[in-house]
Amino acid sequence: MPTSVLSASSASAASSCRAVSSSAESRPSSPADSSLFPQHTCIINREVPEYSWGLPMETNETLVRVENLRKYFPIIGGTIPRKVANIRAVDGIRLHINKGETLGLVGETGCGKTTLGRSILYLEKPTSGRVFFNDVDLGELGKGQLRNMRQHMQMIFENPFASLDPVMRVGDTIAEPLRVHNIASGKELEDRVSDLLMLVGLEPDMADRYPSEFSGGQRQRIEIARALALRPSFIICDNPLAHLDVSIQNQLLSTLTWLRNWRDLTYLFIAHDLALVRNISNRVAVMYAGKIMELAETDELYDNPLSPYTLALLSAVLVPDPKAERDRMIILLPGDLPSPVNPPTGCRFHPRCVGRKGICSEKEPPLVSVGNDHYVACHVGS
Ligand SMILES: Nc1ncnc2c1ncn2[C@@H]1O[C@H](COP(=O)(O)OP(=O)(O)O)[C@@H](O)[C@H]1O
Ligand code: SF4
Ligand SMILES: [Mg+2]
């Protein structure tokens, strides 16, 4: 039996996030836009209640389109160094993200989420496949054009302890993209940095300090300010709440949600916490070993999961109702994520799948529509 089932009360839960209502809220009205940011933007943490995670008003207009994207990292070996194998971090992904939408991306550590995000932004050049941003094929752009395009696409990295330069004042860190793109200099640059710091709930005079003088939550705010500096329309949030206390996570999430609604941002939100992802995403994609296993509108995915892998992930999510929580069954997956160098044949999940059939180890299931904007890659579930 490849998979065991335990009751929630006897097994540790994977999620630490409180499940909350995902009811939509009205979008904050757009601020007057004569300057980069309006005055008095420092109010965000006081005005936004802790759980104001209302969904944005997505459109049907595609902002990002990913076609058959692959990113392989070569392994070099031998006495005469040469490529001996590939790490198939991302292995044939197709998806789109609509303007104004938040697409959640979940999956175990090592399944390729960060690499997918970096490849979408061309921070890693894809091995093959195409990425379109506003119908522009990023693979066709020259270096300068790509740099210009990056004004509109930014990434908030997982670990602010690693991503901030320890010997650079935070003001300079935030100002860097504005300088590189010749957007501001002198007093105007200083003002913009002050605005950005206030926008993420920090004080303007913090610009002169170094990253070591800040807590983890404050560093992540600095990361967000840097990502916002060029007024992007699309941000990849790569596990931005990892390594932070739950109370700080809630504050940051409020900030990210407020910014998204106010600035009409589109997010690809990568996270491990499925309860959190449910509350902020319009749709959710489930990734495993470099592939998308399932993709659907959020409620559809959580209420009607079709892939055994999604079921296993969801079974670990805490339920707020004590009775339901007591009765909750957790599916414990045996073993680990397979090696990305030599993934299993057929369905990559088959060695760990409780529902597998003969065909599962022989033929790879394609990601197919089952209606209702719901896609699944499973011989049994589709
Ligand atoms: N720069 C790199 N060079 C070689 N292997 C990498 C590199 N970046 C990521 N990988 C590998 O690609 C796989 C996917 O990694 P990653 O995208 O970081 O996964 P996740 O974000 O889901 O944890 C892992 O096996 C990881 O070791
Ligand atoms: S295709 Fe087979 S092995 Fe893969 S998830 Fe579906 S049932 Fe499990
Ligand atoms: Mg990652």
Residue from 345, 347, 348, 367 whose mutation best tests the ligand 2 pocket (most atoms within 8 A of CB): 347
Shortest-distance ligand to the CA of residue 112: 1
Model pLDDT, residue 57: 54
Confidence class of residue 56 from pLDDT cuts 50, 70 and 90?
low
Dump strand ranges (E) for the chain.
4-7, 62-77, 82-98, 102-106, 128-133, 136-137, 153-156, 234-238, 266-270, 283-288, 291-297, 329-332, 368-369, 375-376
Distance between CA 277 and CA 106 in Å, rounded? Answer: 8
Structure tokens at 205: 């005079």
Q: Report CA 31 to chain centroid distance, whole Å.
A: 27
- Return the percent helix, strand and coil in the chain, to nearest 5: 35, 20, 45
The mean pLDDT value of the chain amounts to 84
Q: Is 370 in the pocket of ligand 1 (CB under 6 A)?
A: no
Closest atom of ligand 2 to CA, residue 354: 8
Beta-bridge partners for 285: 105, 295
Structure tokens at 177: 């993209």
Closest atom of ligand 1 to CA, residue 109: 23
What Rg, from alpha-carbon coordinates, does the chain have? Answer: 22
Residue from 72, 87, 341 whose mutation best tests the ligand 1 pocket (most atoms within 8 A of CB): 87
Model pLDDT, residue 55: 54
Give ligand 2 pocket residues (Cβ under 6 A): 307-309, 347, 349-350, 353, 355-356, 360, 365, 378-381
Please give the domain boundaries of the chain with CATH numbers for all domains. Answer: 17-281 (3.40.50.300)
Structure tokens at 348: 């990559």
| Centroid of ligand 1 to alpha carbon of 90 (angstroms) | 9
Distance between CA 321 and CA 302 in Å, rounded? Answer: 16
Coil, strand or helix at 167:
coil
The residue ranking higher by pLDDT, 43 or 342, is 342
pTM metric for this prediction: 0.85
Residue from 90, 115, 293 whose mutation best tests the ligand 1 pocket (most atoms within 8 A of CB): 115
Three-state secondary structure string covering 320-340 = CCHHHHHHCEEEECCCCCCCC
> β-strands 375-376, 291-297: how paired?
antiparallel
Model pLDDT, residue 59: 63
Mind listing the pLDDT tens digit for each residue in 28-42? 333 333 333 333 333
| Centroid of ligand 2 to alpha carbon of 364 (angstroms) | 9
Mind listing the pLDDT tens digit for each residue in 166-209? 999 999 999 999 999 999 999 999 999 999 999 898 999 999 99
Residue from 71, 73, 113, 291 whose mutation best tests the ligand 1 pocket (most atoms within 8 A of CB): 73
Distance between CA 123 and CA 129 in Å, rounded? Answer: 15
Distance between CA 378 and CA 336 in Å, rounded? Answer: 19
| Centroid of ligand 3 to alpha carbon of 159 (angstroms) | 10
Model pLDDT, residue 159: 81
Closest atom of ligand 2 to CA, residue 355: 7
Q: Is 111 in the pocket of ligand 1 (CB under 6 A)?
A: yes
Q: Is 31 in the pocket of ligand 1 (CB under 6 A)?
A: no
Q: Which residue has its alpha carbon closest to ligand 1 atom 14?
A: 112
